[in-house]
Amino acid sequence: MPTEPRFADGIRLAVTTFTTLPVRAGRVDRAAAGTAMALAPAVGALLGAFLAAVLLLTAALAPPLVAAGVTVGLGALLTRGLHLDGLADTVDALGSYRRGAAALEIMKKPDVGPFGVVALVVVLLLQAAVLAELAGRSWPAALAAVAAATAAGRLGVALACRRGVPAARPEGLGALVAGTVGPVALVVGTAAVALLAVPAVPGRPWQGPLAVVAALAVAAGLGTHVVRRLGGITGDVLGATVEIATTLVYLGLALSG
């Protein structure tokens, strides 16, 4: 396939996978999937910039915690809640201490277990708490913080889809995207997201990039553990990676010396 059509298909797939924007679907294959996963941080940065604007505008009319709650809720709506669902399913599977097919069967169940409920509550509370604090920062800092954290969550997905990482099932999103992202895309994506995070903490330009790198290190460790337990990645695992990496970057940006 020519490079330009493949790139366009990858952009469409990235947008439809990570947002609810009504974009016309293109060709869906592993080539397009690799492009989509490599572009995921860019989609995350744009989504984060929009959410930052919502946070700041709402904070001008309502208390910071209310603005933060609205922003978290809108973020879930704009991603169909799929990442939160993936987080709950993945934590339930890992919390069961089962392996392989038995753990994957737990992830397929429509209900949410106690581990998943706790994970959702903790992640949403932490994100709302940090966003409430970010609402009090200057608009460039808040914009950089939310955009970088949201982009880092999607960069975690690209990392989980790096070459050599298998899929846990022969079908589904995991099978489509596993092993499709090369090292160059990961290096470029990491550098771009780290640079985006530089203005996030006024007076401490190193803290944002450090938070991004630390979150990616945790995401990589989680990915290794998941492959060991499940045999590979799934769409739910990718959703969990988004929420965990995003939350960790938020926490890193909120820390003060």
pLDDT at 232: 94
pLDDT at residue 31 is higher than 70: yes
pLDDT band at 5 (very low <50, low <70, confident <90, very high): low
- State the amino acid at position 227 in one-letter form: V
Residues 6+ apart with CB under 8 A from 66: 58
pLDDT digits (tens, 9 = 90+) for 236-245: 999 999 999 9
pLDDT value at residue 21 = 84
**CB 83, CB 124: distance < 8 Å:** no
Q: What is the pLDDT of residue 1?
A: 46
Q: How far is CA 84 from CA 22, 63, 79, 212, 250, in A?
A: 21, 25, 9, 20, 16
Judged against a pLDDT cut of 90, whether residue 4 lies above it is answered with no
Query: What is the distance between the alpha carbons of residues 19 and 6, in angstroms, rounded to a whole number?
Result: 20
Q: What average pLDDT score do residues 73-93 get? A: 93
Residue in the block written with tokens 């708490």: 129
Confidence of residue 106 (pLDDT cuts 50, 70, 90): confident
Mean pLDDT, range 58-68, rounded to an integer: 96
Token readout for 128 is: 């709302």
Q: How far apart are CA 33 and CA 68, in angstroms?
A: 32
pTM of the model: 0.94
How far the first Cα of the chain sits from its last, in Å, is 52
Mark out the alpha helices in the chain (DSSP H runs): 3-18, 30-59, 64-77, 82-95, 100-108, 114-134, 139-160, 173-177, 183-196, 207-230, 235-254
On the question of pLDDT at 2 being above 70, the answer is no
Q: What is the rounded average pLDDT for all residues in the chain?
A: 92
pLDDT recorded at residue 3: 55
pLDDT tens-digit readout, 172-208: 888 999 999 999 999 999 999 999 999 999 999 999 9
